[in-house]
Amino acid sequence: MRAFDYTRPASIEEAVAAWTPGAAYLGGGTNLVDLMKTGAMGPAKLIDLTCLPGLDAIEVKGDGSTRIGALVRNSDLAHNRDFAARFPMVAEAILAGASAQLRNAATVGGNLVQHTRCPFFQDGISACNRRDPGIGCDAIGGDTGSMAVLGWSQSCIATHPSDFAVPLAALDAVIEIAGPNGSREVPMAEFHRLPGDTPEKETALEPGEIVTAIRLPAEAAAFAAHSRYLKLRERTSFAFALVSAAAALVIEDGRIAAARLALGAVAAKPWRVAGAEALMVGEPPSPELFARAATAAMEGAMPSGDNAHKIELARRTAARALARAAAGTPAEMPALPASVFGDPAHA
Amino acid sequence: MPDPIPMPTRFGSSGQPVTRRDGVAKVTGAATFAADNHPNGLLHAVYVPATIARGRVVSMDVAAARAHPGVVEVYTPDNSLKLAGDPDAKPFMFAFRMHVLQTDRIAYANQPIALVVAETIEAANEGARLLAPVYEAETPRVTLDDAEGYKPEAAGFGAAETVHGDVEAGHAAAAKSVDLTYETPSQYHNAMETHAVVAEWDGDRLTLDLPNQAIVMSKAAYGYYFGIPPQNVLIRSPYLGGGFGSKAMSHAPVMLAIAAARAIGRPVKLMLRRDQMFGPVGHRGATRQHIRIGIDGDARMTVLDHHSLSATSTFDDFIEPAANASQGLYDAGALRSSHTGVRLDVGTPGPMRAPGEASGSAVLECAMDEMAEAAGMDPLEFRLKNYAETEPGTGKPYSSKALRECYAQGAEHFGWAGRPLEAGTMRDEAGMLVGWGMGTALFHAPMFAAEARATLRPDGTGLVETGAADMGQGAWTALAQIAADALGLPLDKVEFRAGTSDLPDGGVAGGSGHTATAGGALHSAGMDAIARLAEIATADPASPLHGAGNATIVARDGRLVVEGDEERGEDFATIIARAGGEAVVGTGGASRPPEAGAAHAMYAHGAVFAEVKVDPELYQMRVTRLVGAFAAGRIINPKLAESQLYGGMIWGLSFALHEEARHDRRTGRIVNGDLAGYHVPVNADVTGFDVITVHEDDPYVNALGIKGVGEIGITGTVGAIANAIRHATGTRVRRFPIRIEDLLAGG
Ligand SMILES: Cc1cc2nc3c(=O)[nH]c(=O)nc-3n(C[C@H](O)[C@H](O)[C@H](O)COP(=O)(O)OP(=O)(O)OC[C@H]3O[C@@H](n4cnc5c(N)ncnc54)[C@H](O)[C@@H]3O)c2cc1C
């Protein structure tokens, strides 16, 4: 591991001022430190954000929105009863990710900004345009089981691994940012970026910018009664998604009044298609409707290698997540959150 | 037939579910593992792994690495550390060829190409990074189709080909048959504790803190490689964080650290990073198995013909003896196990928990299921139909075989009787597909050689010593129980010393034979000490035992007493005090006489029943119940034995659904070489497990009637789970691990 400087600023202003090219912000370190060990990342300076004041609260604001400080630990958010009651699929998604130990350490800011698990990025050895723009992409033609089937380009086929980001995208979260040029906000839909020709630009963050908070708008709580996250994976827990889906509905008089659907692990960002949501509005919930919506959400999907199965699995996962949402949010968090085996019958 | 070996000992401590004695030390961090040692002047070494699988190193920036502050020395093939013994020779059983910088050629990814030694681990790592090797890469061969097969001389530690009966006639006589090809991937042991060493030289004396499964035997290996007498090597290995077969032999990175310590004249520590476990320290090689079974009109097997194409490296020969798993179990008219090797650009495979048995049983038990299905029979009924009363092929009687009871108790506990023959017919209340499958477990019951010493101290307590190894299986506890029984002392009055190489040879902790072997030695040493004490007492006119005659004297609760007249006796301390206060020392050994092995076939047996649930559209799988009934001779400690059997079954689950090292075909690198990517089951995957130990007395296997429990749990389990998936879904997947996309494609 390369030698690096370490600073622990006491305010956001100090943190931003400490930033110099080649520096990295440190949250829980569960992703960044691993990448420093493999050599995939080699920051000259670590700016430890974990002691910044005021960023570890979950607050309901005057306008009804909910603001989650960037330093709130993943577990603290998922286990906050008020939060989980209003945004059950966000809590379910967090609890479906990583392990209890990792969730205790990881911050929500770090979770959003975490890097792809593409092995060719992570190993620090293979050609990777995200790490070294222009050098090429060894993932193409390699082991593509975890790679994208939507929105990929010839320069990068990686996916974003966060479970948490998927329901946030579905609920139109807003990311609050502070940086050298002041503060700004970015809608979740624009926060993660598709690779195009510049896969090294993973998020909307400009150099030196910090995620300070994640805000869920007041309307997002309207879905509480019908929202689920479903994550297909190769073991019952502690595995990244093969594919996942966050589905949220408002059902009035037996008809869908509002619908949200976002897919995870299929692209470099959580995947949302307006048309797929719109076609459900005004309709009574049914398996056929959900199958149509899922198909619409996956429109344009293309294997990026030997991963065509992900397209069909993503459709089925989306349809199932919608069916689960329609059936209603369970009163208690399932013992196996977001699991195929999470139905009460399997508890 | 020789007489059964008498069993004179009354079992007190043994048979009890004693909690492992080292448990608290381990969970509190007090237990000292090899890398926890920090002798004065310690240097840190890291080895630089090749990032291609085939080719050569053209250059490395040694100057940059040396210039890094804290770096003490950099070793490459240009200034390699010379060993006294030839790393390419194989002078003893567990010797594997090693890459210790004798060449710039690269034969597998993660092969050591340099060693950097520094004052701190950080400096060593940075020095390693600065080397930035430049390669001349060649196209690697990493799949079974990438090279021609060859005829191996041996398979694993056994025969490459075994034939009983007329195989062609068996095929010809078949009324029905199956002809199947299955694949198993390469798998890596990944013990929780990675390989590590702290090496310290004092002249030509070498002290190693080293996790090791063959502690005393390894002295000779290190003596050979470093040109010193074996007795100059001291290996300390009090605890291992798992071994699974990979810690019985010497490995290149460890050798380099030891050589560097000698060259520099300071102690050196090396501990592998998790990703470095994928290559230089052995693994279970990939196989493609071709298996054919034929049955006559009465569903009796006319032939069982099992062939394995097994991968090995380009520079050594160990191949997974998968086909040998078909020996010893089913009563087929003709029986053939054969192997072909294929040389790939991978590290040399080695023994990994149930080597051969794991991958061979997986395929055998699936094939038996396919045959039963083709015959329209219940899989258990089909196995009972072909139950072997004597060892197939050899006709030898079994020393004991309670497999019928395993089938019966396992099936009863599981509720197998209600199983529909047809696949895809069972659903649970949530709509999940449900399937039931079973498999037979089989593992040979070997004994190796071990010695031990038992001392009765003047205060009447005991000290027992043997260089046994506790890999986490509980040897510290189970072996002490055996010794306490032999000495007629309660467990807390016996001090047990093991885990260092200056003790009597405790043998190899492997092959599921350690409790039988080291335990046998401890038992015989204890009996010897008691016999000596009895001789003193019976010869002493002042003792109530005077003239009692040795034969009738037994040890009970710290006293020698006359069998059947326990009032007549005396405690150990009194006897010793009157005799002058000198401790009484007994010695003993254990091994199996060749005649005993020739007279009987010796195996542990079991039956495993699995229930799986599978989502009918998304195909995620979960094992919801797994019942294993095992007959493995005398169980010394039920708690530890069950834990071993559970561990084996979990390993089987891992084999069936999770474990696979995936190679990049262009570079030969393993792309999932860490525990985030190389999956094993997590707690949430391990539910509904039940272990039944079926009573079994075995008068032939050894003096204590002990078979092994360390590996058998894997066998049977893999097939049971795969068969249950087939039963749930109707899809038969013939490669492991079984994946969601395989069922999607089949469904
Ligand atoms: C074995 C394993 C399994 C996992 N499984 C899952 C899973 O199933 N699902 C899942 O969703 N996740 C999973 N994770 C990933 C885990 O969620 C992330 O590692 C974690 O959320 C990152 O948070 P952190 O605070 O530790 O981030 P860090 O590691 O500290 O940072 C990650 C990145 O974000 C940047 N960063 C951190 N905070 C900020 C900020 N406030 N502003 C700007 N940039 C910032 C850092 O510079 C760095 O580039 C797994 C991780 C591991 C190691």
Strand order across the A271-272 sheet: A227-232, A243-252, A255-264, A271-272
pLDDT in tens, B366-425: 999 999 999 999 999 999 999 999 999 999 999 999 999 999 999 999 999 999 999 999
B420, B460: one domain: no
Q: How far is the CA of A50 from the centre of ligand 1 (A)?
A: 13
Structural domain A221-327, CATH architecture: 2-Layer Sandwich (3.30)
- Look up the pTM and report it: 0.97
Name the CATH code of domain A5-51 (choices 3.40.50.720, 3.40.309.10, 3.30.43.10, 2.40.40.20): 3.30.43.10
Residue B606 lies in a domain: yes
Backbone angles phi, psi at B122, to 5 degrees: -65, -45
Mutation to probe ligand 1, out of A12, A30, A212 (largest number of atoms < 8 A from CB): A30
In whole angstroms, what is the distance from residue B707 CA to residue B704 CA? 9
Look up residue B516 and give its two tokens: 């039988």
**Tell me, what amino acid is at A314?**
A
Count the Cβ atoms, other than its own, within 10 Å of residue A208. Answer: 19
pLDDT in tens, A198-211: 999 999 999 999 99
B399, B488: one domain: no
Query: Which string of DSSP letters, residue by residue, matches B342-408?
Result: EEESSPPP---SSTTHHHHHHHHHHHHHHHHHHHT--HHHHHHHTB-SB-TTT-PBBS---HHHHHH
B562, B630: one domain: no
B630, B643: one domain: yes
B551 has pLDDT over 90: no
In whole angstroms, what is the distance from residue B589 CA to residue B517 CA? 9
The larger pLDDT score, comparing residue A343 to residue B269, is at B269
Residues 6+ apart with CB under 8 A from A54: A69
Residue B307 lies in a domain: no
pLDDT band at B7 (very low <50, low <70, confident <90, very high): very low
A160/B contact by beta carbon, under 8 A: no
B577, B621: one domain: no
- Tell me whether residues A138 and B666 touch, CB distance under 8 A: yes
Q: How far is the CA of A247 from the centre of ligand 1 (A)?
A: 23
Residue B549's pLDDT is 80
Residue B319 lies in a domain: no
* Helical H segments across A147-204, by residue range: 165-170, 188-191
pLDDT band at B571 (very low <50, low <70, confident <90, very high): very high
Given B365, B611, B696, B711, the catalytic residue: B711
Handedness of CA A88, A93, A99, A101 (dihedral sign): negative
Q: Which residue has the tokens 């542990």?
A: B604
In whole angstroms, what is the distance from residue B10 CA to residue A230 CA? 58
Which CATH number does the domain housing residue B530 bear?
A: 3.30.365.10
Residue A345's pLDDT is 64
Cα separations in angstroms, B142 against B145, B318, B696 = 8, 16, 45
- Tell me whether residues A343 and B430 touch, CB distance under 8 A: yes
Interface of B with A (CB under 8 A): 51, 122, 125-126, 129, 273, 275, 428-430, 432, 613, 615, 617-620, 622, 657-658, 662, 664, 666-667, 669, 671-672, 676-677, 679, 681-685, 739-741, 744-745
Handedness of CA B109, B115, B116, B122 (dihedral sign): positive
Domain end: B528, B563, B591, which one? Answer: B591
Q: Nearest CA to B274 among B676, B553, B635, B653?
A: B676
Q: What is the mean pLDDT of chain A?
A: 97
pLDDT band at B504 (very low <50, low <70, confident <90, very high): very high
Residue B231 lies in a domain: no
pLDDT band at A240 (very low <50, low <70, confident <90, very high): very high
The closest CB to that of B671, out of A119, A316, A346, belongs to A119
Please tell me the total count of domains within chain B. 2
Q: Bridge-partner residues for B497, per DSSP?
A: B465
In whole angstroms, what is the distance from residue B19 CA to residue B21 CA? 6
Count the Cβ atoms, other than its own, within 10 Å of residue A53. Answer: 10
Residues 6+ apart with CB under 8 A from B503: B216, B453, B465, B466, B467, B497
Domain end: B572, B591, B610, which one? Answer: B591
* Helices B638-657, B357-375: crossing angle, 10 deg rounding: 70
* Cβ-contact A15, A30 below 8 angstroms: no
Residue B289 lies in a domain: no
pLDDT band at A329 (very low <50, low <70, confident <90, very high): very high
In whole angstroms, what is the distance from residue B104 CA to residue B110 CA? 13
Residue B1's pLDDT is 28
Q: What is the mean pLDDT of chain B?
A: 96
pLDDT band at B12 (very low <50, low <70, confident <90, very high): low
B481 has pLDDT over 80: yes
Q: Which of A73-77, A282-286, B70-74, B546-550 has the lowest mean pLDDT?
A: B546-550
- Mean pLDDT value of segment B137-159: 97
Q: How far is A142 from chain B (nearest CA, A)?
A: 6
B562, B439: one domain: no
Chain B CB contacts of A309 below 8 Å: 740-741, 744-745
Residue B2's pLDDT is 31
The domains of chain A are located at 5-51, 221-327
pLDDT band at A12 (very low <50, low <70, confident <90, very high): very high
B489 has pLDDT over 60: yes
Q: Which residue has the tokens 């569903």?
A: B299
B108 has pLDDT over 70: yes
Cα separations in angstroms, B569 against A247, B203, B463, B572 = 80, 53, 22, 10
pLDDT in tens, A210-228: 999 999 999 999 999 999 9
Q: Nearest CA to B178 among B303, B292, B307, B298?
A: B292
In whole angstroms, what is the distance from residue B494 CA to residue B507 CA? 21
Residue B136 lies in a domain: no
* Cβ-contact B52, B109 below 8 angstroms: yes
Identify the domain containing residue B376 by its residue range.
Answer: 356-446+598-744
pLDDT in tens, A80-111: 999 999 999 999 999 999 999 999 999 999 99
HEC profile of B419-479: CCCCCCCEECCCCCEEEEEEEEEEEECCCCCEEEEEEECCCCCEEEECCCCCCCCCHHHHH
pLDDT in tens, B183-217: 999 999 999 999 999 999 999 999 999 999 999 99
Strand order across the B196-202 sheet: B71-75, B112-118, B43-49, B268-271, B196-202, B205-209, B233-236
Backbone angles phi, psi at B405, to 5 degrees: -65, -35
Residue B620 lies in a domain: yes
The closest CB to that of A236, out of B129, B273, B622, belongs to B622
B655, B626: one domain: yes
Give the pairing of strands B621-631 and B689-693.
Answer: parallel
Helices and strands in chain B: count of H runs, count of E runs: 16, 30
B417, B490: one domain: no
Backbone angles phi, psi at B335, to 5 degrees: -145, 125
In whole angstroms, what is the distance from residue B79 CA to residue B101 CA? 9
B9 has pLDDT over 60: no
In whole angstroms, what is the distance from residue B715 CA to residue B436 CA? 17
Residue B8's pLDDT is 36
B577, B457: one domain: yes
- Mean pLDDT value of segment A299-322: 98
**Tell me, what amino acid is at A133?**
P
pLDDT in tens, A252-269: 999 999 999 999 999 999
In whole angstroms, what is the distance from residue B504 CA to residue B484 CA? 18
B732, B658: one domain: yes
pLDDT in tens, B254-298: 999 999 999 999 999 999 999 999 999 999 999 999 999 999 999
Residue B552's pLDDT is 85
Q: Nearest CA to B55 among B284, B314, B319, B342?
A: B314
The larger pLDDT score, comparing residue A286 to residue B551, is at A286
Q: Which of A6-20, A107-121, B79-93 has the lowest mean pLDDT?
A: B79-93
A102/B contact by beta carbon, under 8 A: no
The larger pLDDT score, comparing residue B564 to residue A205, is at A205
pLDDT band at A344 (very low <50, low <70, confident <90, very high): low
B3 has pLDDT over 50: no
Region of B183 (left: φ > 0; alpha: ψ -120 to 50; beta: rest) is beta
Complex confidence, ipTM: 0.97
B6 has pLDDT over 60: no
B5 has pLDDT over 50: no
Q: How far is the CA of A103 from the centre of ligand 1 (A)?
A: 9
Residue A1's pLDDT is 64
Give the pairing of strands B205-209 and B196-202.
Answer: antiparallel
Please provide the size of chain B in residues. 747
Cis peptide before B737 (omega within 30 of 0): yes
Region of B232 (left: φ > 0; alpha: ψ -120 to 50; beta: rest) is alpha
DSSP A203: B
Q: What residue ranges line ligand 1, CB within 6 angstroms?
A: A 24-32, 34, 49, 70, 97-98, 102, 105-107, 109-111, 113-114, 161-164, 210-211, 240; B 676
pLDDT in tens, A21-64: 999 999 999 999 999 999 999 999 999 999 999 999 999 999 99
B586, B624: one domain: no
A17 has pLDDT over 70: yes
Nearest CA in chain A to B661: A143
pLDDT in tens, B717-738: 999 999 999 999 999 999 999 9
Domain end: B550, B575, B591, which one? Answer: B591
